[in-house]
Amino acid sequence: MGSVTGRFQSETPLHSAAAAFLADAFDRGWPDPAKITNESRRAAILQNEAKEIFASHFGVRLDQIRFLADPEIGFHLGISGLLSPESTLYYTAVDRSEVYAIAEDLQGERLDVAIDGLTEYPEGTTTDVLAWQTANGETGIRSQSPSNFGGRIFVDATASGSLLELPEKWHCALWNSRVWQGPAGLGVFAVADSSVWRNPLPHVDSAASSSNYSLPLAMASAIALEVSHREYQERQFALTAINAKIREFLRSEIPEVDVAGTLNTTLPHLLSFSFLYVDAQMLVNELDRRGFAIDSGSACNSSNMEPSHVLAAMGLLTHGNVRLTLHPQTTEEQIDQLLIALKEIVLELRN
Amino acid sequence: MELNCLGLRCPIPIIKLAQAIKEDLEVILLSDDPATEPDLEAWSRMTGHSFDKVGVAKYLVRR
């Protein structure tokens, strides 16, 4: 594992277990698993082994799993693939910008999300489609179950990985390998029932997801998932305690901070908070200078200079925003140092 | 009081507003920054103020 000291950004280096396995994976996983030569059959076995690991961690069947070279295309495959001409597409105000782009194209109906993360889902008809996220990648807030929705459900599990189960009813689901310290450039896509899903891209076989992908990366990603899932399980209580400590520090040590959600409504390793009257760009730069890498949803940190649509939709403060991702390797000492630095910098910038 | 923050980026409009509202019960804030409207919402909730949007890039803020 590369050093994660001071790293609280969502992306991490490839997990050391996957990195050690990568050369071997490329050695063995190069043949096309779909062909019928001996080498291809061996690759097909490797493909199945990788799929088995994903299937067992995600609680789906092996035959429901497909790999994608581009995780982002999975949003289009999943949502557009479930739609029929009479469908209404529902999505929430805190969905990812990929979902926004599709919904704007299809005149979807946006559902409000309250400051506590609550959303009212419509009942919908059987052909309506709901884009639903297990948890929000910015605030860490877990979504309520969409159990009252009567239509088809696309599950965006790209923020939670294997940490949250799929809802009881789901039709398509999407994961991103980066979330479990796997290699970039791999998405895992699942279709619950091929009879309600059609590939929305130009295709030869309407049931295939028509995406080329790298089998060696899928194999390495499966290893990363197995190891990092176990590390999360082992560190779950420690990470929850660290999260609680950060929340308590912000509440008692720094005035006028807007923290998203509560310990009970969020994933323990994701945390978003905003300091009133603080310029996020100066905050990010100063933290970076001191060796702490953090993310921010403030406008000055985005490519289009717009504030995070997630923070704005929930009524959370968009300036002075800090987004922390705690990794299994994150220690309490690192957090103590970060909190001291945060307090110093915020008080300095407010002066 | 009218506070012209046109062209200023977040968090400057909210910082100037917080100073201005100490001196006046009502402030007309002119701000075209895309973060101003959501941040007025959050700032009002956090500090106990209230506001109405009264025009394009124009807000009436009350103590």
Q: How far apart are CA A211 and CA A243, in angstroms?
A: 38
Q: How far apart are CA A240 and CA A80, in angstroms?
A: 37
Residues in chain A where the model's pLDDT stays below 50: 1-4
Q: Taking CB atoms and an 8 Å cutoff, what residues of chain A touch B35? A: 298-299, 306-307, 312, 318-319
Q: Is the CB of residue B10 less than 8 Å away from at least one CB of chain A?
A: yes
| Residue A26 φ/ψ, nearest 5 degrees | -70, -30
Residue of A191, A190, A173, A186 whose CA lies nearest to A218: A186
User: Closest chain A residue to B43 measured between Cα atoms?
Assistant: A317
Q: Is the pLDDT of residue B1 over 80?
A: yes
Matching residue, tokens 């049931």: A207
Interface contact B35-A307, CB threshold 8 A:
yes
For A318, the closest of B18, B35, B47 (CB atoms) is B35
CB atoms closer than 10 angstroms to residue A9: 16
CB atoms closer than 10 angstroms to residue B28: 16
* Domain ranges within chain A, ordered by starting residue: 16-225, 229-350
Question: How far is residue A256 from each of residues A241, A343, B45, measured CA to CA in Å?
Answer: 23, 12, 11
Matching residue, tokens 């194999």: A219
User: Closest chain A residue to B12 measured between Cα atoms?
Assistant: A277
pLDDT, position A212: 81
Q: Taking CB atoms and an 8 Å cutoff, what residues of chain A touch B43? A: 276, 317
Q: Is the CB of residue A112 less than 8 Å away from at least one CB of chain B?
A: no
Residue of A284, A279, A276 whose CA lies nearest to A258: A276
Cis link prior to A328 (omega < 30° from 0)? no
Which domain covers residue B27, as residue numbers?
2-62
Q: Taking CB atoms and an 8 Å cutoff, what residues of chain B touch A138? A: none
**Partners of residue A217 on adjacent β-strands:** none
Interface contact B35-A315, CB threshold 8 A:
no
Query: What's the structural domain count of chain B?
Result: 1
Residue of A187, A137, A147, A188 whose CA lies nearest to A170: A147
Question: How far is residue B28 from each of residues A112, A130, B3, measured CA to CA in Å?
Answer: 29, 41, 6
Q: Is the pLDDT of residue B60 over 70?
A: yes
pLDDT, position A2: 40
Q: How many residues does chain A have?
A: 351
Q: Taking CB atoms and an 8 Å cutoff, what residues of chain A touch B18? A: 277
Residue B48 φ/ψ region, left for φ over 0, alpha for ψ in the -120 to 50 degree band, beta for the rest: left
Q: Is A242 helix (H, G, I), strand (E, B) or coil?
A: helix
What CATH superfamily classification does A229-350 receive? Aspartate Aminotransferase, domain 1 (3.90.1150.10)
Q: How far apart are CA A145 and CA A207, in angstroms?
A: 28
Q: Is the CB of residue B50 less than 8 Å away from at least one CB of chain A?
A: no
Q: How far apart are CA A44 and CA A67, in angstroms?
A: 13
Q: Taking CB atoms and an 8 Å cutoff, what residues of chain A touch B38? A: 307, 311-312, 315, 318
Angle, in degrees to the nearest 10, between helices A215-253 and A38-58: 20
ipTM of the complex: 0.96
User: Closest chain B residue to A307 measured between Cα atoms?
Assistant: B35
Query: A301-310 burial, b if ≥16 CB within 10 A, otherwise e?
Result: beeeeebbbb
- The domain made up of A16-225 is a member of CATH 3.40.640.10: yes
Q: How far apart are CA A313 and CA A131, in angstroms?
A: 16
User: Closest chain A residue to B19 measured between Cα atoms?
Assistant: A277
Q: Which of A306, A317, A351 to mutate to test the interface with B (most CBs of B within 10 A)?
A: A317
Interface contact A299-B18, CB threshold 8 A:
no
CATH number of the CATH domain containing B7: 3.30.110.40
